[in-house]
C-alpha cells in the first residue's frame, strides 16, 4: 500500500494567509516512493521489530528521566533500525537537553553539556548510530534516490506542569504576528515560525483538536500550532506527547475561507476539516511491530491531496509500550537536476 501525495501550486499572496500555501516553483517529472517509519514517546522502551524503511522520524520523549545515560541507550535502540536517514527531536522528558529548565531544577551545566555531546557533533553517539538530532527550524534533505523533502521540527509543547521545552499557552511561536490571536503574544523567530514551503512537520506535541484528547477527555493540543498547520497544509504532520491521542487522521482544507475564518482573533478561524480517525488492525500491527493505513485511505489521500496527521506515541494510556509505530508511504519529488539522462 502506498500513500502518494503531490503538492498543490498556488499563487503567492502579499500577506501571510491562513489558507493559501506558497511553494517554491518546482516542476519535477519524477516522484520517488519513500517509506517513513514514524515513532514517538518510547520512554526507554526497547523495541525489537522494525520494518524496512527509508526515513525514521522520532518525535521526542525517547527517555523517561532525560538523563545522558538514558539518551545514550535510546540512541542505540534507534541504531538498530535500518534506514538511510534517521531524524529525531527532543521531547519534554529530555530534560538534560534543555539548559534553562535543567539548571533551574538543580541540574549541573556539566551534565547538560554531556547530554548535548551525545546528540550533536560528528563524534556523538547519535552520529555513531546514524541519527541526526534536529534543532527547532526547517531542514532540507536529499536521499540517495534524489528525492528531496523539507521538514520543520520543534521539541516545544504548551506548558503543563514542570518539564522541558515548554512555552506558555499565551505565546505563539509558530506564526507571523498578523496571524496571532488577540489574546496571545507573538514570540516567533526566524527558526520557530513554520515556513509556508515545508513538506512535513515533526513536533513533539499535537495541534489543538487533532489526536490530542487526554484520558479525561480534554484537548491538550496547541491552538497556535493548529493555526500554522491550517496555513501551511503540509503533506505530513507527525507528533506524540499525548499518549491517549494515538492514531492517524487525514485533513481536508476549505478551498474558499468564509469571512469569519479570516479573523485571526477568532480561535475557530482556520481552514481545517477533520476526517474520521483512521482504522487499522492493531493486533496485526503489534505482531509486525508497526501499523500501516488501509489502501483506500492511501488512494483518497493521493487523489485529494490531503494532510496526514500521525500521533505515533508508543506508550499507551497504561504507560506501557502497547501502541505500534506507523509506516507511511509518501511520493517525494526528484528535481530534474537529480534525474539521470538517457542516451
Task: Report how far residue 232's alpha carbon sits from residue 128's, in angstroms, rounded to the nearest whole number.
Answer: 34
43 CB-near residues (< 8 Å, 6+ apart): 61, 62, 63, 64, 93, 314, 315, 319, 321
Name the pLDDT band for 12 (thresholds 50, 70, 90).
Answer: very low
Examine residue 51 and state whether it is found in any structural domain, yes or no. Answer: yes
pLDDT tens, residue by residue, 211-229: 999 999 999 999 999 999 9
Of 18-32, 86-100, 131-145, 154-168, which range is least confident? 18-32
Q: Give pLDDT, residue 217.
A: 93
Check: CB of residue 126 under 8 Å from CB of residue 133. Answer: yes
In this prediction, residue 279 carries a pLDDT of 85
pLDDT digits (tens, 9 = 90+) for 122-161: 999 999 999 999 999 999 999 999 999 999 999 999 999 9
Question: For 167-197, what is each residue's pLDDT tens digit?
Answer: 999 999 999 999 999 999 999 999 999 999 9
- Helix 109-119 / helix 68-78 crossing angle, nearest 10 deg: 10
Percent of residues in the chain assigned helix, strand, coil, to nearest 5: 20, 25, 55
In a domain, 186, yes or no: yes
Q: Does residue 236 form part of some domain?
A: yes
- Tell whether 271 is covered by a domain: yes
Q: Give the sheet arrangement for strand 30-39, strand by strand.
A: 131-133, 85-88, 55-58, 30-39, 326-334
Helices and strands per DSSP (H, E), number in the chain: 7, 16
Report the Cα 194 to chain-centroid distance in Å: 12
Query: Average pLDDT over the chain, rounded to whole?
Result: 88
Please say if the pLDDT value at position 283 is more than 90: no
- CATH number, position 76: 3.60.21.10
105-114: long-range contacts, CB 8 A cutoff, minimum separation 24: 105/162, 111/67, 111/68, 114/68
pLDDT at 5 over 80: no
CB 270 within 8 Å of CB 254: no
Of 6-20, 96-110, 206-220, least confident by mean pLDDT is: 6-20
Tell me whether residue 82 is exposed, middle or buried, using C-beta atoms within 10 angstroms of its C-beta: 0 to 12, 13 to 18, 19 or more.
Answer: middle
pLDDT over threshold 70, residue 93: yes
How far does Cα 271 stand from its chain's mean position? 19
**Predicted local distance difference test score (pLDDT) of residue 294:** 79
Residue 266 maps to a domain: yes
Q: What is the pLDDT of residue 339?
A: 63
Q: Which helix (H) or strand (E) holds 249?
A: strand 247-253
- 305 three-state secondary structure: coil
Number of domains in the chain: 1
Measured between alpha carbons, how far is 211 from 246 in angstroms, rounded to an integer? 6
pLDDT tens-digit series, residues 306-321: 899 999 999 998 999 9
Give the side-chain half-sphere CA count within 13 A for 253: 26
Quickly state the pLDDT bin for 251 (edges 50, 70, 90): very high
Give me the pLDDT at residue 285, please.
Answer: 87
Nearest to 281 by CA among 316, 236, 324, 328: 324
Q: Is residue 103 part of a domain?
A: yes
Q: Is residue 24 part of a domain?
A: no
Q: How far apart are CA 25 and CA 23, in angstroms?
A: 6
pLDDT mean over 189-212: 97
Q: Cα–Cα distance between 224 and 232 in angstroms, integer?
A: 12
Which residues fall within 8 angstroms of residue 68, CB to CB, at 6 or more apart? 96, 111, 114, 115, 118
Q: How confident is the model at residue 337 (pLDDT cuts 50, 70, 90)?
A: low
Q: Are 151 and 138 in contact (CB under 8 A)?
A: yes
Is residue 52 scored above 60 in pLDDT? yes
Task: Average the pLDDT over 198-214 and give the result.
Answer: 97
Domain, as residue range, for 57: 30-336
Q: Say what the pTM is.
A: 0.88
233 domain residue, yes or no: yes
pLDDT at 257 over 80: no
Amino acid at each position: 500500500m502506498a500513500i502518494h501525495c503531490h503538492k498543490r501550486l498556488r499563487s503567492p499572496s502579499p500577506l501571510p494567509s491562513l489558507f493559501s500555501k506558497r511553494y517554491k516553483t518546482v516542476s519535477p517529472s519524477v516522484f520517488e516512493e519513500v517509506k517513513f517509519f514514524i515513532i514517538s514517546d518510547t520512554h526507554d522502551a526497547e523495541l525489537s521489530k522494525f520494518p524496512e524503511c527509508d526515513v525514521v522520524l522520532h518525535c521526542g520523549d525517547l527517555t523517561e528521566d532525560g538523563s545522558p545515560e538514558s539518551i545514550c541507550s535510546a540512541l542505540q535502540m534507534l541504531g538498530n533500525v535500518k534506514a538511510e536517514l534517521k531524524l529525531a527531536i527532543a521531547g519534554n522528558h529530555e530534560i538534560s537537553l534543555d539548559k534553562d529548565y535543567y539548571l533551574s531544577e538543580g541540574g549541573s551545566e556539566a551534565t547538560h553539556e554531556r547530554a548535548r555531546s551525545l546528540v550533536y557533533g560528528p563524534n556523538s553517539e547519535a552520529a555513531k548510530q546514524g541519527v541526526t538530532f534536529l534543532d527547532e527550524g526547517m531542514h532540507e534533505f536529499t536521499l540517495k534516490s534524489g528525492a528531496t523533502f523539507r521538514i520543520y521540527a520543534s521539541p516545544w509543547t504548551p506548558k503543563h506542569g514542570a518539564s522541558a521545552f515548554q512555552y506558555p499557552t499565551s505565546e505563539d511561536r509558530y506564526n507571523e504576528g498578523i496571524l496571532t490571536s488577540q489574546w496571545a503574544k507573538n514570540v516567533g523567530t526566524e527558526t520557530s515560525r513554520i515556513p509556508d514551503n515545508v513538506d512535513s512537520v515533526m513536533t513533539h506535541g499535537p495541534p489543538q483538536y487533532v489526536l490530542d484528547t487526554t484520558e479525561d477527555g480534554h484537548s491538550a493540543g496547541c491552538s497556535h500550532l493548529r493555526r500554522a498547520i491550517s496555513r501551511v497544509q503540509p503533506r505530513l504532520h507527525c507528533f506524540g506527547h499525548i499518549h491517549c491521542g494515538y492514531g492517524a487522521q487525514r485533513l481536508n482544507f476549505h478551498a474558499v475561507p468564509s469571512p469569519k475564518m479570516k479573523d485571526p482573533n477568532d480561535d475557530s478561524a482556520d481552514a481545517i476539516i477533520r476526517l474520521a480517525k483512521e482504522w487499522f488492525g492493531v493486533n496485526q500491527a503489534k505482531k509486525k511491530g508497526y501499523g500501516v493505513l488501509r489502501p483506500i485511505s492511501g488512494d483518497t489521500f493521493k487523489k485529494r491531496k490531503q494532510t496526514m496527521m500521525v500521533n505515533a506515541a508508543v506508550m499507551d494510556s497504561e504507560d506501557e509500550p502497547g501502541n505500534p509505530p506507523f509506516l507511511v508511504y509518501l511520493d517525494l519529488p526528484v528535481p530534474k537536476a537529480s534525474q539521470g539522462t538517457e542516451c
